[in-house]
Chain A
Amino acid sequence: MINSIEKLKEILVCGGTGCQASESNRVFEVLKEEVKAENLDKQVKVIMTGCFGFCEKGPIVKVMPDNVFYVEVDEASARKIVKEHVLKGRIVEEKIYKDPKTLEKIPEQSSIPFYKKQIRIALRNCGKIDPENINEYIASDGYMALAKVLKEMAPEEVIDIVKRSGLRGRGGGGFPTGLKWEATRKSKGDVKYVICNADEGDPGAFMDRSILEGDPHSVLEGMAIAGYAIGAKQGYIYVRAEYPLAIHRLKIAISQARQRGFLGENILGTDFSFDVDLKIGAGAFICGEETALINSIEGGRGEPTVKPPYPAQVGLWKKPTNINNVETFANIPPIILNGPDWFSSIGTEKSKGTKVFALAGKVNNVGLVEVPMGITLREIIYDLGGGIKGGKKFKAVQTGGPSGGCIPYEYLDTPIDYDNLNALGSMMGSGGMIVMDENDCMVNIAKFYLEFSCDESCGRCTACRIGNKRMLEILNKITEGKGEMEDLETLRELAETIKDSSLCGLGQTSPNPVLSTMKFFYDEYVAHVKDKTCPAGVCTALLKYYIIPEKCVGCTACAKVCPVNVIHGEPRKVHVIDREGCIKCGECFRTCRFGAITRK
């Protein structure tokens, strides 16, 4: 039973990009109107928070302290939440999450299967606080870690804690964060910089975006602690222009932090000064690579440079620079507050803590999850993700974006950590996780990623600029049904050469999607090349169109739309396609209203 409104209530509305796209702004307005209309302003606060992660079921609304979690809230149910739940203490049953398997209604967030196995460290405040109000961050222990560091610790001690925690970079590479800080601290020079990499370029990834939108102060606090540890006074956040909401909230957060003395001169009355500025990207994937990012901040073309020297030695404006990812920084304050042993007790031997994944594709519960390292792919996809959409068969899960690979069913029980994913020919990457089913063609997916890499190659080194193009040409040939078996050998050779001879991480990893699909789904390649068929029914040039006689009513619609007039038949009689002249445009397939045309 829920008590009526003696205690202060909070109605939390998800303001993440996903929910905003499903009109959570409107829900927010309606809730506020309704609270006002009922004269509840004093007892009920309506707050827009960052992403709850359960984007599949958005817009999400949560009523606290009753701990009731509503899904797919629209205007009408928003009104009902105020009138029924808030006023009368009656839960609005129809908007409670219902487990599709057990049909049980689950009002409590932490009991919903999607959340059960999650441990939220980097996302600790997302969906809990108003990201535009620094007081709420402070009330959740915000800036306590910074205060602790400044008042009680020497920079070396901070570095030691981060080292002992075992935290590794969440931007993809997995480099130990403490070691990087130490290297930057030890580099000679008075002026040093801290950069937060918020370029999040992997297609299908939105972890960093959600942290910036949902809890921008945690990133600022992490950066300030890094600044203290390495001896820097200035930090920059390099954020994608495609993230307007994140930019907006960061601007607010920076100005509030300055006002309250967490950024600027003599922070908290100590002699440590540190400030943060925003740099907005302009749409180039390669700028996520650290040396390219530095060139971009300097105002030039975002092309990578050869390492070494590493940014820790020669970075922004030629000064020692420490670059970390958004999620890496967000992990820092809890590590300082709870200690390194707490953090390293979570995870596997070599990968500590949690990782945020953006679960997307053909899975029932699309959204953002933060799970302990060492959890298996199967747990994420089937327990949290609720299995494959539409009862289809699982084919592969892609991790690591264009640098990663596709992992097949046999390896679903692999515990996730940096090293295991590398061993499978994929990568942790920044945390994109795309689930694919039987209707996805692996050759086509490989082609998709290669197109991406070709587009985004900066063109500086030959292996990547030309090599990837040649690979793409071969894949095009194969998906058009013109491939030969030698092509597969050439493809593999090219891939190895590009990996070995490219200048930066983009080229060094761009062949991974091809290599991993060739390794695990070689039979699909062979089907395209030898049998000239696409088993998943995706590659249009390889499809053959058929009319199913039992279903055809002879309406003539297909014959009318066929641009090359190869469909014949009399009205009200079964039609046939003359496949000789068929150009496989698919018009008939789209036009038929009786499902009488198939393609294989």
Chain B
Amino acid sequence: MCYCDEQSKFEELRKFIQEKRNDKGALMPVLQKAQEIFGCLSYDIQEFISKELKVPMAEVYGVSTFYSQFTLEPKGEHIIRVCLGTACYVKGAQAILDRLSKELNVEVGKTTQDGKFTLEATRCLGACGLAPVMMIGEKVYGRLIPDDIPNILKEYQK
């Protein structure tokens, strides 16, 4: 669940929109803010933005589905991002991703049933020197081998 009903979050978003309303090209920053507040851009949130910003819903939806940063569904508590940039790929990132998928029993791009982890493949994280690389939240893990995975996950499963 998004807990999208929380009044104060909408209030916060409304304030932000009021600040930005007269800026040109406000839609992107507003969507980014909304995602930061709610963790996702559910239909309700998009509708709210469309009304407040006076931008057609079709445009809001068009933009929020174009960019891979925006997500329409809520994500897990920890977001695991495995780099599939070239440097990581040639150093075996796919095996890392496969192992995570197996350990967590979740498909890439999806969230575990308990809502704890979302598993994502991402583009170059700019830490190619440590390839293969993954991030859990803001923390970067480098020079990985598949057998590292169970232990790393344990830190988060407590």
Q: Which of A21, A202, A284, A298 contacts B25 (CB 8 A)?
A: A298
Asked if A242 is at the interface of the complex by the 8 Å CB criterion, the answer is yes
Report whether A282 and B28 are in contact in the complex, using a CB–CB cutoff of 8 Å: yes
Asked if A487 is at the interface of the complex by the 8 Å CB criterion, the answer is no
Asked if A48 is at the interface of the complex by the 8 Å CB criterion, the answer is no
Report whether B59 and A300 are in contact in the complex, using a CB–CB cutoff of 8 Å: yes
A interface footprint on B113-127 (CB within 8 Å = 1, 0 otherwise): 000000000111111
A282 CA to B91 CA, complexed, in Å: 27
CB closest residue in chain A, given B138: A244
Restricting to B59-101, which residues have a CB under 8 Å from any CB of A? Answer: 59, 62-63, 66-70, 84-87, 89-91
**Quick one: given A21-B133, A366-B128, are A204 and B87 in contact (CB under 8 Å)?**
yes
**Quick one: given A203-B85, A302-B66, A434-B90, are A360 and B131 in contact (CB under 8 Å)?**
yes
CB distance from B61 to the nearest CB of A (A): 10
A282 CA to B35 CA, complexed, in Å: 11
CB closest residue in chain B, given A363: B87
Asked if B54 is at the interface of the complex by the 8 Å CB criterion, the answer is no
| In the complex, chain B residues whose CB is within 8 Å of the CB of A2 | none
A434 CA to B91 CA, complexed, in Å: 11
Q: Which of A18, A241, A297 contacts B69 (CB 8 A)?
A: A241
Report whether A18 and B59 are in contact in the complex, using a CB–CB cutoff of 8 Å: no
| In the complex, chain A residues whose CB is within 8 Å of the CB of B128 | 18, 55, 204, 206, 358, 360, 366
**Quick one: given A21-B133, A201-B123, A202-B124, are A301 and B63 in contact (CB under 8 Å)?**
yes
Asked if B130 is at the interface of the complex by the 8 Å CB criterion, the answer is yes
B interface footprint on A37-79 (CB within 8 Å = 1, 0 otherwise): 0000000000000000001101000000000000000000000
Q: How large is the interface on A (under 10, 10 to 19, 20 to 34, 35 or more residues)?
A: 35 or more
| In the complex, chain B residues whose CB is within 8 Å of the CB of A520 | none
| In the complex, chain A residues whose CB is within 8 Å of the CB of B13 | none
CB distance from A472 to the nearest CB of B (A): 15
| In the complex, chain B residues whose CB is within 8 Å of the CB of A301 | 62-63, 66
CB closest residue in chain A, given B92: A439
Report whether A242 and B125 are in contact in the complex, using a CB–CB cutoff of 8 Å: yes
A296 CA to B70 CA, complexed, in Å: 14
Report whether B123 and A203 are in contact in the complex, using a CB–CB cutoff of 8 Å: yes
CB closest residue in chain A, given B35: A282
Specify which of B25, B84, B122, B140 lies most central, judged by the most chain A CB atoms within 10 Å of its CB: B25
| In the complex, chain B residues whose CB is within 8 Å of the CB of A317 | 24
A interface footprint on B31-55 (CB within 8 Å = 1, 0 otherwise): 1100000000000000000000000
CB closest residue in chain B, given A243: B126
Asked if B2 is at the interface of the complex by the 8 Å CB criterion, the answer is no
Report whether A280 and B32 are in contact in the complex, using a CB–CB cutoff of 8 Å: yes
Asked if A436 is at the interface of the complex by the 8 Å CB criterion, the answer is yes
| In the complex, chain A residues whose CB is within 8 Å of the CB of B129 | 18, 55-56, 58, 360, 366-367
CB distance from B49 to the nearest CB of A (A): 12
Q: Which of A281, A285, A299, A434 contacts B86 (CB 8 A)?
A: A434
CB closest residue in chain A, given B63: A301
Asked if A340 is at the interface of the complex by the 8 Å CB criterion, the answer is no
Report whether B67 and A283 are in contact in the complex, using a CB–CB cutoff of 8 Å: yes
Report whether B126 and A17 are in contact in the complex, using a CB–CB cutoff of 8 Å: yes
B interface footprint on A5-25 (CB within 8 Å = 1, 0 otherwise): 000000000000110111000
Report whether B86 and A448 are in contact in the complex, using a CB–CB cutoff of 8 Å: yes
Asked if A291 is at the interface of the complex by the 8 Å CB criterion, the answer is no
Report whether B86 and A204 are in contact in the complex, using a CB–CB cutoff of 8 Å: yes
Report whether A209 and B126 are in contact in the complex, using a CB–CB cutoff of 8 Å: yes
Q: Which of A206, A280, A298 contacts B126 (CB 8 A)?
A: A206
Asked if B27 is at the interface of the complex by the 8 Å CB criterion, the answer is yes
Report whether A203 and B84 are in contact in the complex, using a CB–CB cutoff of 8 Å: yes
Report whether B140 and A284 are in contact in the complex, using a CB–CB cutoff of 8 Å: no
A109 CA to B66 CA, complexed, in Å: 45
B residues neighboring A (CB under 8 Å): 24-29, 31-32, 59, 62-63, 66-70, 84-87, 89-91, 122-131, 133, 138, 140-142
| A-B contact sample (6 more), CB < 8 A, given A301-B63, A434-B86 | A18-B130, A22-B130, A280-B28, A282-B31, A299-B28, A361-B91
A-B contact pairs, 5 of them (CB 8 A): A17-B125, A200-B126, A209-B126, A361-B131, A449-B86
